[in-house]
Structure 1
Amino acid sequence: MQNFPPISITCFKAYDIRGELNVNLDNDIAYRVGRAFAQYLKMSEQANSQTKNAIVIGSDIRQSSESLKKSAIDGILDAGVDVIDLGMTGTEEVYFFTSHYQAMGGIEVTASHNPINFNGMKLVRENSKPISSQTGLADIQKIAESGEFADVANRGDYQLKTDKTAYIDHLMSYIDIKNVSNLANPLKIVINSGNGSAGPVVDLLVERLENTSLEFIKLHHEPDGSFPNGIPNPMIIANRKPTEEKLLAEKADLAIAFDGDFDRCFFFDENGRFIEGTYLVGVLAQAFLDKEQGASIVYDPRNILNTESIIHNANGKAVMSQSGHSFIKEIMRQTEAVYGGEMSAHHYFRDFNYCDSGMITWLLVVELLAKSGKKFSQLVDEMIDSFPISGEINFKLNGITAKELLAKLKENPNQFDENSQENAKLDELDGLSVNFDKWRFNMRASNTEPLVRLNVETIGDKELLNAKTTQICDWIIANGGVNADH
Structure 2
Amino acid sequence: MTESRGTAERIVGTHGIRGRVPEELDPGGAYRTGAAFALLTGAPVIAVAHDLRGCSPALADAFAQGVLDQGADVVDAGAGPADCLAYLSGRLDVPGALVTAGRGPGAPYGIRLCHAGAAPVTEGTGLEAIRERLAGPRPALTDHPGSVVRAPVLDDYVRQLRSLVDLGGIRPLKVVVDAAHGIAALTAPRALHHPAVELVPVRFAFDEDPAGQPDGDLGERVRRSGADLGLAFDEGADRCRVVDERGAAVSPAAVVALVAARELARRPGAAVVHDLIVSRAAIEAVEEAGGIPLRSPVGRAAIRSLMAEQGAAFGAAHSGRYYFRDFWCADSAMLAALHLVAEVGETGRGLSRLTAGLDRYPRSGGIGIRVADPMAALRRVAAYFADTGAELDRLDGVTGEFGDGSWFNVRAAHGAPLIRVHVEAEDPATMEALRDRVLAVLTS
Same fold at TM > 0.5 = yes
Structure 2 CA distance for partners of 1:340 and 1:221, relative to 1, 3 Å: same
Distance 1:388 1:426 in 2: 21
The one of 144, 167, 191 aligned to 2:177: 191
* 1:1-16 correspondence to structure 2 within 5 Å: 4-8=1-5, 9=8, 10-16=10-16
Distance 2:310 2:232 in 1: 31
Conserved in 2, the CA contact under 8 Å of 1:257 and 1:266? yes
Identity of aligned residues (%): 27
Counterpart amino acid of residue 242 in structure 2: F
Conserved in 2, the CA contact under 8 Å of 1:431 and 1:443? yes
Residues 286-334 of structure 1, C-alpha deviations (whole Å, 9 max, x = no match): 2222232101100000134123212222332211111110111111110
The one of 406, 421, 436 aligned to 1:454: 421
The one of 93, 107, 113 aligned to 1:102: 93
Measured after TM superposition, the shift of residue 219 of structure 1 is: 0.5
Counterpart residue number, 1:219 = 202
Measured after TM superposition, the shift of residue 424 of structure 1 is: 0.6
Counterpart residue number, 1:55 = 46
Distance 1:447 1:216 in 2: 40
Number of corresponding residues: 440
TM-score, scaled relative to structure 1: 0.86
Counterpart amino acid of residue 32 in structure 1: R
Residues 152-199 of structure 1, C-alpha deviations (whole Å, 9 max, x = no match): 23001012211533211111112222232xx2xx32211111011111
Measured after TM superposition, the shift of residue 200 of structure 1 is: 0.7
Measured after TM superposition, the shift of residue 150 of structure 1 is: 4.8
Conserved in 2, the CA contact under 8 Å of 1:174 and 1:364? no
Q: Does 1:25 align with 2:31?
A: no
* 1:381-460 correspondence to structure 2 within 5 Å: 381-385=356-360, 387-395=361-369, 397-398=370-371, 400-413=372-385, 423-438=389-404, 439-447=406-414, 451-459=418-426
Distance 1:162 1:25 in 2: 25
Measured after TM superposition, the shift of residue 474 of structure 1 is: 4.3
Gaps of 5+ in 2: none
Structure 2 CA distance for partners of 1:125 and 1:81, relative to 1, 3 Å: same
Counterpart secondary structure, 1:194: coil
Counterpart amino acid of residue 348 in structure 2: G
Measured after TM superposition, the shift of residue 14 of structure 1 is: 1.5
Distance 2:417 2:353 in 1: 38
* 1:177-188 correspondence to structure 2 within 5 Å: 177-180=167-170, 183=171, 186-188=172-174
Residues 230-275 of structure 1, C-alpha deviations (whole Å, 9 max, x = no match): 01x34xxxxx413223223223221111122212211112222222
Structure 2 CA distance for partners of 1:112 and 1:358, relative to 1, 3 Å: farther
Counterpart residue number, 1:244 = 219
Of 74-83 and 442-451, more deviation after overlay is shown by 442-451
Counterpart amino acid of residue 199 in structure 2: F
Measured after TM superposition, the shift of residue 7 of structure 1 is: 2.4
Counterpart secondary structure, 1:383: coil
TM-score, scaled relative to structure 2: 0.94
Counterpart amino acid of residue 189 in structure 1: V
* 1:106-121 correspondence to structure 2 within 5 Å: 106-113=96-103, 115-121=105-111
Structure 2 CA distance for partners of 1:112 and 1:173, relative to 1, 3 Å: farther
Measured after TM superposition, the shift of residue 376 of structure 1 is: 1.6
Counterpart residue number, 1:70 = 61
Structure 2 CA distance for partners of 1:453 and 1:380, relative to 1, 3 Å: farther
Counterpart amino acid of residue 330 in structure 1: S
Distance 2:335 2:431 in 1: 33
Conserved in 2, the CA contact under 8 Å of 1:303 and 1:457? no
The one of 68, 73, 92 aligned to 1:82: 73
Distance 1:448 1:190 in 2: 38
Gaps of 5+ in 1: 48-52, 235-239, 480-486
Of 250-259 and 275-284, more deviation after overlay is shown by 275-284
**What is the alpha-carbon root mean square deviation over aligned residues?**
1.9
